[in-house]
Amino acid sequence: MATNSKYMQTPIHWSLKPFRDLSPQELYDILQLRSQVFVVEQQCIFQDLDGKDQSCWHLTAYVEDHLIATARLMPPGLAYPEASIGRVVTSFSVRGQKYGKQLMERSVQECARLFGPGQICIGAQCYLLAFYGSVGFIAEGAMYMEDDIPHVKMRHPGAGYQLPEVL
């Protein structure tokens, strides 16, 4: 895992905005990071611009002027009947430093604040099942292929859910 002490010692600026309030630079940063990870790093040619961003809220984490993590929060009915979290991505420069977990924990809390209490559904890449499980998501149903990558539907019980203590 990459470690970059600069990011561990510099305060993170978290922001949550609806699409219409993103600045051109913020939108560029989000799309650039998603492209770097989903298209280049994962070597997956897919249509990232799927027409859903405009209806979503975008959670971002910046260190100085560098976007290190982002996720889009989708209202109920856009991807699933329940609220959803998608396009979850952290920069390679901060992998292994728990920013992805912070991003997901904040995403769950913000979904409850924005869309009300209730379950949250995601389509998770199978290799990330343990990661999403660590923040309370539970796999359901069979594996399916999306953009030639194995995925599984996962569900979170909603904000306020406490993970059981590990003994």
What average pLDDT score do residues 56-79 get? 96
Give dist(CA 59, CA 74) in Å, integer.
11
Q: What CATH number has the domain spanning 5-116?
A: 3.40.630.30
Residue 120 is predicted with a pLDDT of: 97
Q: Which residue has the higher pLDDT, 40 or 141?
A: 141
2-16, 60-74, 86-100, 140-154: least confident range: 2-16
Environment class of 102 (CB within 10 Å of its CB; exposed 0-12, middle 13-18, buried 19+): middle
Residue 7 is predicted with a pLDDT of: 53
**Rg of the chain (C-alpha set):** 15
pTM of the complete model: 0.87
Residue 2 is predicted with a pLDDT of: 43
Cβ contact 19:54 at 8 Å: yes
**Is residue 92 scored above 60 in pLDDT?**
yes
DSSP state of 94: G
Q: Which residue has the higher pLDDT, 31 or 148?
A: 31
**Is residue 115 scored above 90 in pLDDT?**
yes
Residue 121: closest CA among 69, 157, 145: 157
Residue type at position 6: K
Residue 164 pLDDT class (50, 70, 90 cuts)? low
Mean pLDDT of the residues in the chain: 88
Residue 113 is predicted with a pLDDT of: 93
Residue 38 is predicted with a pLDDT of: 81
**Is residue 166 scored above 70 in pLDDT?**
no
Bridge partners, 12 (sequence order): 63
Q: Where are the domains of the chain?
A: 5-116
Residue 101 pLDDT class (50, 70, 90 cuts)? very high
What's the first-to-final CA gap in the chain, in angstroms?
Answer: 27
